[in-house]
Amino acid sequence: MSEALEADYVIVGAGSAGCVLADRLSADGRHAVIVLERGGSDIGPLIQMPAAFSIPMNMPLYDWGFRTEPEPHLNGRRLAVPRGKVIGGSSSINGMVFVRGHARDFDTWEAMGARGWGFRDVLPYFRRMETSHGGEAGWRGCDGPLHVTRGRMRNPLYTAFIEAGRQAGYGITEDYNGHRQEGFGVMEMTVWGGRRWSAANAYLRPALKRKNLRLFTGVEVQRVEFDGRRAVGVMIRRGRRTQIVRARREVILSASSINSPKILMLSGIGPASDLRRLGIEIVADRPGVGANLQDHLEIYVQYAARRKITLHRHLNPVSKAVIGAMWLLARRGIGTSNQFESCGFIRSAAGIEYPDIQYHFLPAAVRYDGRAAADRHGFQVHVGPMRSKSRGRVALASSDPAAPPSIRFNYMSHPDDWAEFRSCVRLTREIMAQPAMAEHIDHEIAPGADTQSDAEIDAFVRAHVESAYHPCGTCRMGGTDDPMAVVDPQCRVIGVEALRVVDSSIFPQITNGNLNAPTIMTGEKAADMILGRDPLPASNLEPWIHPNWRTAQR
């Protein structure tokens, strides 16, 4: 990188949205594009084998290693905040679950000031980005770069969980990414040909064949450089050398909901009083930078199994070696699945218009680090509320670009969070008590049969709740007259020129389910904006809403 570096567009971050932008902005050959990534290669079985996803998520080579500040409502626990530090970003270390979000999520964005981001506007981009294998015709894409598939459902516990939902009185959805999210059904994953189909595999790797796209890895972006109020490039460090990478048209931050606000603040865009205390010159006083931090929390409701049909038999070195060999030699076997193959989306109470609880079912009782939670056969559901009212923040701990930011989610700081988790526990127990699942259960491992009262459930949540790793919202999109908005509906940073943010940090409110799909959609829609193209024609499809949602919970 000793040569002078300059391009039309400089993209910071080769993650889910950054990979999309790299592909779409370079596609017609008219614009030079540079992508800067802190991490390195995503090649290798630990990332590419779907069943191994919990390994890179816990490796410093691939993960930034962020942790929260002590969370005051969770016994002062510091929770992990994995973010991908590798080509593909978090799409290279995530659980590969594919959830678009509910239509009402995006209508809410628009109501919050994100004009042009309603469901009718974003659905065409969801379709453009994917090739759906088994999805609902008309609602799903059929020729996009991102392959979305379904597991083979070979373990009987997957179908038992769906049937238990039906027996409990909930509906069945044939495609929760189609017209009806609410109900129980088969879960989708970004896996293709037995491999993790990350944004790097779907978008970036094919695009790198073009001469007008360059990728640099191992790059620490220190700040955005300005000429007056216009962004003209970024200051980077690679090894011991620092230099400026210049942008003739725009700088685009796609560095995650943690690092994008960090880079903005290091560049003088953020809460002025906080930045002055660190000796950072103010370019634009935007108090919303780093604020509005949101996430999904979840607990694992775990059960001991009556029969030896779970994945526990594979949680030993010999079996793992066999699984790995099958995957390496033939891309076959258990290694080709993330193991999340059935799911549910339900409403916790009457009067709630669309689902506010999500289930992932797993035919094993394990933790996210891959270790067994019990030395016997078992299974679990990951369950948590979708729209917590708690809000946190990302702040600079230092003006040193190499220093990690301060992260505090303020988890469970709103009283409604506790009531919602009590509902999660009790509704889950009711579902698992249905005949389809009851025949497989020996006993409840966690929270445990003795955990019944509100206080007991609250204590369990306080001690054991975990992040689902869906941080977002720290560079919130909104109107230019909104003092807490960071970017306008064109993803342009308010108060400066030639600088955009395009990643999950711009979400005004967290969406239902896992965030990788809406993040990729954001990259797709933003690419048209950046290139000055007309948006795709709006859709007139309407989502399914329970006809009696005002008076019925199911």
Predicted confidence (pLDDT) at residue 166 exceeds the cutoff of 70? yes
Reported confidence tier of residue 4, pLDDT bands at 50, 70, 90: confident
Cβ atoms of residues 508 and 109 within 8 Å: yes
Place of tokens 């469970």: 412
Query: What architecture is domain 5-530?
Result: 3-Layer(bba) Sandwich (3.50)
Per the model's pLDDT, the better-predicted residue between 366 and 279 turns out to be 279
Of 266, 265, 267, the residue nearest 288 (C-alpha): 265
> Who's near 20: CB < 8 A, 6+ residues apart?
129, 199, 203, 520, 523, 524, 527
Query: Does the annotation count 147 as an active-site position?
Result: no
Q: pLDDT for 75-111, tens place per residue?
A: 999 999 999 999 999 999 999 999 999 999 999 999 9
Name every residue whose Cβ is closer than 8 Å to that of residue 65 and which is 6 or more positions away in sequence.
404
Residue 3: per-residue pLDDT: 65
Phi, psi of 524 (to 5 degrees): -65, -50
Binding-site annotation: residue ranges: 86, 94-97, 221
Active-site entry in 102, 296, 360, 470: 470
Query: Please, which pLDDT band fits residue 43 given cuts at 50, 70 and 90?
Result: very high
Q: Give percent helix, percent strand, percent coil of the chain, each to the nearest 5.
A: 30, 25, 50
By percentage, how much of the chain surpasses pLDDT 70? 98
Q: Which residues are annotated as a binding site for FAD?
A: 86, 94-97, 221
**Segments making up each domain of the chain, as ranges:** 5-530
Query: Residue 370 pLDDT more than 90?
Result: no
**Averaged pLDDT, 261-281:** 98
Strands 269-270, 284-285: parallel, antiparallel or unpaired by DSSP? parallel
The Cα–Cα gap between 453 and 517 comes to: 37
pLDDT tens, position by position, 177-189:
999 999 999 999 9
Structure confidence at residue 375 as a pLDDT band (50, 70, 90): confident
Cis peptide before 317 (omega within 30 of 0): no
Closest CA to 466 of 411, 394, 417, 518: 411
Question: Which residues, in sequence order, are bridge partners of residue 270?
Answer: 285
d(Cα 127, Cα 110) in Å, to the nearest integer? 20
Query: Could you write out the three-class secondary structure of 204-221?
Result: HHHHCCCCCEEEECCCEE
335 Cβ contact list (under 8 Å, min separation 6) = 49, 50, 51, 52, 194, 323, 324, 326, 327
